[in-house]
Amino acid sequence: MDSVTQFTLGASVAALVVGPKLGMRAILLGGVVATLPDLDSFLPATNVIDKVTYHRGFSHSLLVQTALSPAIAYVAHALFKNSSVSYLRMLLTVWLCLITHSLLDSLTTYGTQLFWPLEAGSPVAFPSVFIIDPFYTITLLVGVIGYLFLIHRNRRRAMKMMRVCVGLSTFYLTLGMGAHLLVKSRAEALPALAGTKIHVQPMPFNILYWQILAVDKAHYYTGATSALRLCPLVKLKQYPRLDRLSDTASVSPSVKRFEWFSDGFFSYVEQGERVLISDLRIGYAPFFPFTFDFAGKGQASFASEGEQQMKQVPAFIETAPRRVRGKGRDMAYLSYLYGAAREVPEGCSF
């Protein structure tokens, strides 16, 4: 999620745990601690692909956060030594602020490496909320502002307001999880998507409209639906997909890691003399912001067993990857998605 949301969530958690004793300072404590995992964005990376795939890595691991919480809590306890907050309560606050950051991130499409360094498959992603969701963020923000306004006037009302806002925002996430399961079950029932791997995610800024993505070896399919409709129908578009360059071509560890990062929802693209790879989960066809140009087409010498004469065969020559930025989001396609999601096919009900 965005930094404002993470800061606000951490502030809300801290207010609930140590707010009565720290007052306004609980907001600062929780917000700062909840921001710490995203400092990995500033770490140097070998290339732009690694910059993407190593984000939400070790600093977002529940195991690492649990191990580091005692040290962070010790520093926080020392900073607020004039308060009556015990070290154990401070430890609980720090731990909750850290893990709720990672758990919230795992509810977005990007995914989170919750169990680093354990080999536990691709980053955990159960897309239930868009990376920026105004309802979720504003609900928490109302709680924080109300808390700041009331804490020195009526502490009981301040805590009640915070509990209500955190409860409402959590209920909203629960609705998103339910909508995810509902939409995915509909998509899996579609004959057109039989034998494909399916990914569903909320469309921007809401949990009412959803995008469906499916892949097989030769194609990917994308369309939209509404979580409100008791209907298995969606409008789908089909696009060609390349799941590998050739039988003999190999790619660098960075590109291979990108395949892992995308949980298999990727496609290679041969564009003129250049070779690109796209994460199909993030964006809307044909615009995918996580698209990287990483190789060019060339020739390589090759001699099969028993032959002495070298042959020239097509080859892919990797270069320093660069991110391909489009001229802008395809608003026409975005409008199509919303139109498809809002259309009520015959026989469907709300």
Number of helices followed by number of strands (H, E) in the chain:
9, 8
> Can you give the pLDDT at residue 228?
86
pLDDT of 318 reads 87
- Check whether residue 40 and residue 174 sit in a common domain: yes
Domain boundary among 130, 148, 179: 179
Instruction: Say yes or no: 100 and 10 in one domain.
Output: yes
In angstroms, the CA 245 to CA 265 distance is 15
pLDDT tens-digit map of 25-80: 999 999 999 999 999 999 999 999 999 999 999 999 999 999 999 999 999 999 99
Judge if 140 and 266 occupy the same domain: no
End of a domain among 128, 159, 179? 179
Task: Please tell me whether residues 151 and 57 are part of one structural domain.
Answer: yes
| Domain membership flag for residue 340 | no
Q: In this predicted structure, what is the pLDDT of residue 302?
A: 54
d(CA 221, CA 129): 21
Domain assignment present for residue 152? The answer is: yes
Q: What is the spatial distance between Cα 57 and Cα 64, in angstroms, rounded to a whole number?
A: 10
- Kindly report, residue by residue over 71-104, the tens digit of the pLDDT: 999 999 999 988 889 999 999 999 999 999 999 9
Together in a domain, 156 and 248: no
Examine residue 117 and say whether the peptide bond preceding it is cis (omega within 30 degrees of 0): yes
Per 3-state DSSP, what percentage of the chain is helix, strand, and coil (rounded to 5)? 45, 20, 35
- Residue 62: beta bridge partners? none
Determine the pLDDT at residue 199: 97
Task: Return the pLDDT at 314.
Answer: 60
Say if 128 falls within a structural domain. yes
pLDDT in tens, 286-339: 789 899 999 997 755 555 555 555 555 567 888 899 999 765 556 777 777 778
Q: Prior bond to 286 cis, omega within 30?
A: yes
285, amino acid identity: A
Neighbours of 11 (CB within 10 A): 28
How far is the C-alpha of 145 from the C-alpha of 190, rounded, in Å? 46
Interatomic CA distance for residues 131 and 100, integer angstroms: 15
Mean pLDDT, rounded, for 110-139? 94
Query: Domain for residue 224, yes or no?
Result: no
State whether 248 and 138 are in the same domain: no
197 compared with 235, residue with greater pLDDT: 197
- Of the candidates 157, 179, 201, which is a domain's last residue? 179
Domain presence at residue 347: no
In total, how many domains does the chain have? 2
Using a 10 angstrom Cβ sphere, with 0-12 exposed, 13-18 middle and 19 or more buried, the burial of residue 152 is exposed
Domain that holds residue 273: 242-279+290-323
Output the pLDDT for position 342: 77
The pLDDT tens digits of the residues spanning 140-196 come to: 999 999 999 999 999 999 999 999 999 999 999 999 999 999 999 999 999 999 999
Q: For 45-112, give the DSSP string.
A: -SSHHHHHHTTTSGGG-HHHHHHHHHHHHHHHHHHTTTS---HHHHHHHHHHHHHHHHHHHTTSTT-B
pTM of the predicted model over 0.75: yes
Q: Is residue 185 part of a domain?
A: no
- Co-location of 146 and 63 in the same domain: yes
pLDDT digits (tens, 9 = 90+) for 225-284: 888 877 767 778 999 999 988 765 678 999 999 999 999 999 999 888 899 999 999 988
pLDDT at 235: 78
Separation of alpha carbons 5 and 209, rounded Å: 21
Residue 191 falls inside a structural domain: no
Residue 220 within a domain: no
Please give the average per-residue pLDDT across 199-221, as a whole number.
Answer: 94
C-alpha 40: how far from chain center: 15
* Residue ranges of E strands in the chain: 197-202, 209-215, 219-226, 235-240, 266-271, 274-279, 291-302, 311-323
Same domain, 168 and 269: no
